[in-house]
Structures are given as C-alpha cells and as structure tokens.
C-alpha cells in the first residue's frame, strides 16, 4: 500500500508540474456544433452533385435509410425509390437515415424501367452497379464532368433486374477479392457515391 501511495503521489506531482504530459494526443473529436453542417433548408438550396441514386426493389428499410444518409453526406441530387422499395415517412427508414429523408429529394416509381426512361429523357447517363459481362471496374471508370449520372443498385438477393441492366448506358463493378459474390447494397452505394462524387468534384 505504501509503495502504491508513493507511486500515485509522484504521478500527481508529474502531471501538475508538466501539463503537456496530459496533452500528447494530436486529435480531439469535434463537437456537433463545430462541424458547421447545413440546416435542412440550407441543404435544399445548396448546389448538388449531378448524381442520382436509384434503388431497384430494395427490401431492407435500414438499407434505404442508410442510402439516404450517405446521399445527404455527399450532397447528391436525389434518391429514386422503385418497386417494393419503401418510401418515407417510415420509422424504420428514419432509424438509419436520421432525418436525411427530409433533406434529400426523393421520388417513387412503380417500375424501375420508368425511372430509367425518365432519367434518359432528362439527359442522365444511367449506370447499373452490377457484375456483368463487359462491366467497367469502378477504379477504371472515367467520368465526364459535363454529364449527369444516375446509378442503379439492386435488390439484396437478385441485384439489378436484367431488363433494367439492358436499358442502362453501362455497368460499373466494384472489384472483390474474397469468397462472397456481393456486398451489402448500402455499403456498395456508399463506395460508389463516394468515388463518383470525388470524380465529379475534382
């Protein structure tokens, strides 16, 4: 006990006499107030990245919410919800979107093909995010900053419908090196949104 008491006394003296001893960490987590994020109204007025995300029959409400949250983070134009993909307001979507369903523009289409047709009419280059013959690996994709893009993510089990793939202007694939044949749709969407918005902002 005596040795322990002496140790802590010496430690206390060291800390008091040399404050930098307790400040050797280079990083401090920012408080929410320090992040200077946009309000929902400000987000609506902000210039968006010319990128639309299309969800083709995505069944998980948590995946949908996660896509909304990522879309908000990168300030993309909108999320199109197709087929069985649920729409806000929805408590389960909100659990992962955390309010991004209110900031990000969204639109529902009964058929994904209708969304593809609408996007083509508006001048978007539509890309399926899918493993296809002749697909382009994400890291090899060359973006044209003069164009608007839409990327389609498919159902958790079946992926993007073949008929939808056939109507797209191209396919992008994320390379994988493990045993699984696919990744979670919200993870895939996050990777693709981050990569493309980096290209479009560069």
pLDDT digits (tens, 9 = 90+) for 136-149: 999 999 999 999 99
Please count the residues of the chain.
Answer: 202
Fold of 38-201: Alpha/beta knot (3.40.1280)
Return the C-alpha torsion angle 50, 40, 190, 85, nearest 10: -90
Edge-first strand listing for the sheet containing 124-129: 106-109, 76-82, 49-56, 148-154, 124-129, 170-173, 136-137
User: Which is nearest to 165 in space by CA: 191, 140, 129?
Assistant: 129
Cβ count near 200 (within 10 Å): 18
Give pTM, 2 decimals.
Answer: 0.86
What ranges do the domains of the chain cover? 38-201
Q: What is the tally of helices (H) and strands (E) in the chain?
A: 8, 7
Locate 20 and state its tokens. 């930098």
Q: Percentage of residues in the chain with pLDDT exceeding 70?
A: 88
Task: Please tell me whether residue 189 adopts helix, strand or coil conformation.
Answer: helix
pLDDT at 21 exceeding the cut of 60: no
pLDDT at 196 exceeding the cut of 90: yes
49-96 confidence digits (pLDDT tens) = 999 999 999 999 999 999 999 999 999 999 999 999 999 999 999 999
User: Which is nearest to 55 in space by CA: 193, 180, 199?
Assistant: 193
167-193 confidence digits (pLDDT tens) = 999 999 999 999 999 999 999 999 999
């Amino acid at each position: 006990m005596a040795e322990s008491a002496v140790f802590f006394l010496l430690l206390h003296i060291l800390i008091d006499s040399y404050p930098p001893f307790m400040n050797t960490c280079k990083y401090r987590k920012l408080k929410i107030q320090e992040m200077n994020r946009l309000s929902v109204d400000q987000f609506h007025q902000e210039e968006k990245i010319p990128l639309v995300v299309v969800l083709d029959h995505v069944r998980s409400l948590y995946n949908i919410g996660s896509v909304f949250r990522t879309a908000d983070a990168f300030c993309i134009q909108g999320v199109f919800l197709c087929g069985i993909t649920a729409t806000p307001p929805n408590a389960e979507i909100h659990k992962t979107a955390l309010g991004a369903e209110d900031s990000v523009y969204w639109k529902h289409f009964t058929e994904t093909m209708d969304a593809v047709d609408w996007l083509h009419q508006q001048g978007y280059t539509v890309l399926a995010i899918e493993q296809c013959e002749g697909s382009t690996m994400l890291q090899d994709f060359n973006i044209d900053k003069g164009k608007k893009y839409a990327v389609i993510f498919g159902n958790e089990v079946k992926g993007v419908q073949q008929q939808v793939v056939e109507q797209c202007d191209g396919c992008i694939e994320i390379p994988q090196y493990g045993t699984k044949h696919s990744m979670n749709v919200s993870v895939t969407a996050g990777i693709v949104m981050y990569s493309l918005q980096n290209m479009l902002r560069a």
